[in-house]
Amino acid sequence: MPDPLLELRGLSKNFGALTVTSDVSLTVLPGEIHAIIGPNGAGKTTLIHQISGTLRPDRGTIRFAGQDVTALPFERRARLGLARSFQITSIVPGFTALENVALAVQARSGSSFRFLRPVANEKALNEEARAALDTVGLGRVADRGAAALSHGEKRQLELAIAIAMNPRLLLLDEPLAGAGPEETERLIGILRELRSRYGILLVEHDMQAVFALADRISVLVYGRVIVTGTVDEIRDHPEVRTAYLGEDALA
Ligand SMILES: Nc1ncnc2c1ncn2[C@@H]1O[C@H](COP(=O)(O)OP(=O)(O)OP(=O)(O)O)[C@@H](O)[C@H]1O
């Protein structure tokens, strides 16, 4: 088995008396989609915050690409290749799709483009941005204003922005939220393509999409991983069914 890209060990976090992350241990392997599912309020988003570095765990360790990153700030983790997909709200509506992605390329590369002449600099930036847009199937709308994109296209643009950060692992927090059936199909196809290039930690409410995509699934309930397994192992697991009682997510 390859070394894990991401390894959480004994991660715990409390908000006052509320335990939101309880002794969570899991791995994401290169080329794997590991999904985290769980009922509302189970602690999925809080976990993503701790992995990306916007929230410090109280206990436990986070290793990324063989390095302990538990104490590293968000930007340092991003530079190591841990990319969290940004929400639609971070898209600049007055910029084109290409400009939005170019901005992310520029932010990532910092000074590394500075030695180029301005025109060459812009060309290199745009080429990289265009490649990211092509990867998520948005090449044909590169020059369209971001505000004019459909909801599904905006979600694709978020993915392109994350890819522009040259990641090794993508942290995706509900990438399908608000997408219609056709958009969902398209996004599932794109995520499937991305799997061969990155490890993906996927938090998603759309269970059919999770079942279609995930190599492994961890089920979070009250901040604790109650089971990790393949789709077949999770789908009919009695404890998982009980955790979702009253929700129709597994229907
Ligand atoms: N900053 C905070 N301070 C106090 N409690 C918080 C804070 N952030 C989240 N919580 C609580 O922690 C618990 C876990 O929240 P979290 O958003 O991580 O769950 P989730 O699984 O992502 O939920 P959902 O599926 O509804 O998005 C919830 O009870 C929430 O109210």
Q: How many CA atoms lie within 13 A of 235 on its CB side?
A: 12
pLDDT digits (tens, 9 = 90+) for 77-121: 988 999 888 655 678 999 999 999 998 888 877 655 555 566 667
Claim to verify: residue 119 and residue 142 sit in the same structural domain: yes
CA–CA distance from 163 to each of 156, 194, 197, 213, 219 (Å)?
A: 11, 9, 10, 19, 27
Interval between CA 138 and ligand 1 midpoint (Å)? 33
Position 144 scores a pLDDT of 96
- Cα distance between residue 21 and residue 164, in whole Å: 30
State the amino acid at position 128 in one-letter form: E
**Domain for residue 86, yes or no?**
no
Regarding the beta carbon of 20 and ligand 1, being less than 6 Å apart is answered yes
SS (H, E, C) the chain: CCCCCEEEEEEEEEECCEEEEEEEEEEECCCCEEEEECCCCCCHHHHHHHHHCCCCCCEEEEEECCEECCCCCHHHHHHHCEEECCCHHHCCCCCEHHHHHHHHHHHHHHHHHCCCCHHHHHHHHHHHHHHHHHHCCCHHHCCCEHHHCCHHHHHHHHHHHHHCCCCCEEEEECCCCCCCHHHHHHHHHHHHHHHCCCEEEEECCCHHHHHHHCCEEEEEECCEEEEEECHHHHHCCHHHHHHCCCCCCCC
**Domain for residue 224, yes or no?**
yes
Claim to verify: residue 72 and residue 186 sit in the same structural domain: yes
Q: How buried is residue 226: exposed, middle or buried, by Cβ count under 10 Å (0-12/13-18/19+)?
A: middle
Interval between CA 230 and ligand 1 midpoint (Å)? 26
Regarding the beta carbon of 223 and ligand 1, being less than 6 Å apart is answered no
Regarding the beta carbon of 15 and ligand 1, being less than 6 Å apart is answered yes
Regarding the beta carbon of 46 and ligand 1, being less than 6 Å apart is answered yes
Position 196 scores a pLDDT of 85
pTM of the model: 0.90
Regarding the beta carbon of 180 and ligand 1, being less than 6 Å apart is answered no
ipTM of the complex in this document: 0.94
Q: What residues form DSSP beta bridges with 202?
A: 35, 172
**Domain for residue 88, yes or no?**
no
Interval between CA 45 and ligand 1 midpoint (Å)? 7
pLDDT digits (tens, 9 = 90+) for 19-28: 999 999 999 9
Kindly state the average pLDDT of the residues 211-235. 95
Claim to verify: residue 6 and residue 69 sit in the same structural domain: yes
Claim to verify: residue 171 and residue 232 sit in the same structural domain: yes
Claim to verify: residue 29 and residue 131 sit in the same structural domain: no
pLDDT digits (tens, 9 = 90+) for 154-192: 999 999 999 998 899 999 999 998 889 999 999 999 999
Query: What domain count does the chain have?
Result: 2
**Domain for residue 180, yes or no?**
yes
Q: Which atom of ligand 1 is nearest to the CA of 49?
A: 18
**Domain for residue 87, yes or no?**
no
Claim to verify: residue 161 and residue 171 sit in the same structural domain: no
Claim to verify: residue 98 and residue 150 sit in the same structural domain: yes
Q: Which of 166, 199, 223 is the last residue of a domain?
A: 166
- Cα distance between residue 191 and residue 67, in whole Å: 26
Q: Whose CA is nearest to atom 24 of ligand 1?
A: 40
pLDDT digits (tens, 9 = 90+) for 129-163: 999 999 999 999 999 999 999 999 999 999 999 99
For the beta carbon of residue 228, count every other beta carbon within 10 angstroms.
16
Claim to verify: residue 35 and residue 99 sit in the same structural domain: no
In this predicted structure, the answer to whether residue 58 has a pLDDT above a threshold of 80 is: yes
What residues make up the domain containing 240? 1-81+167-251
Q: Could you tell me the two tokens for 239?
A: 């404890």
Q: Which atom of ligand 1 is nearest to the CA of 46?
A: 18
Q: Which of 119, 149, 166 is the last residue of a domain?
A: 166
**Domain for residue 97, yes or no?**
yes
pLDDT digits (tens, 9 = 90+) for 5-20: 999 999 999 999 999 9
Claim to verify: residue 158 and residue 98 sit in the same structural domain: yes
Position 120 scores a pLDDT of 60
The owner of tokens 């971001």 is 146
pLDDT digits (tens, 9 = 90+) for 205-220: 899 999 999 999 999 9
Mutate to test the pocket of ligand 1, among 22, 36, 40, 45 (most ligand atoms within 8 A of CB): 45
**Domain for residue 37, yes or no?**
yes
Interval between CA 145 and ligand 1 midpoint (Å)? 34
CATH value at residue 69: 3.40.50.300
Mutate to test the pocket of ligand 1, among 14, 18, 207, 221 (most ligand atoms within 8 A of CB): 18
Claim to verify: residue 124 and residue 66 sit in the same structural domain: no
Q: Whose CA is nearest to atom 16 of ligand 1?
A: 43
Q: Which atom of ligand 1 is nearest to the CA of 174?
A: 27
Q: Which atom of ligand 1 is nearest to the CA of 15?
A: 4
Cβ atoms of 194 and 213 closer than 8 Å: no
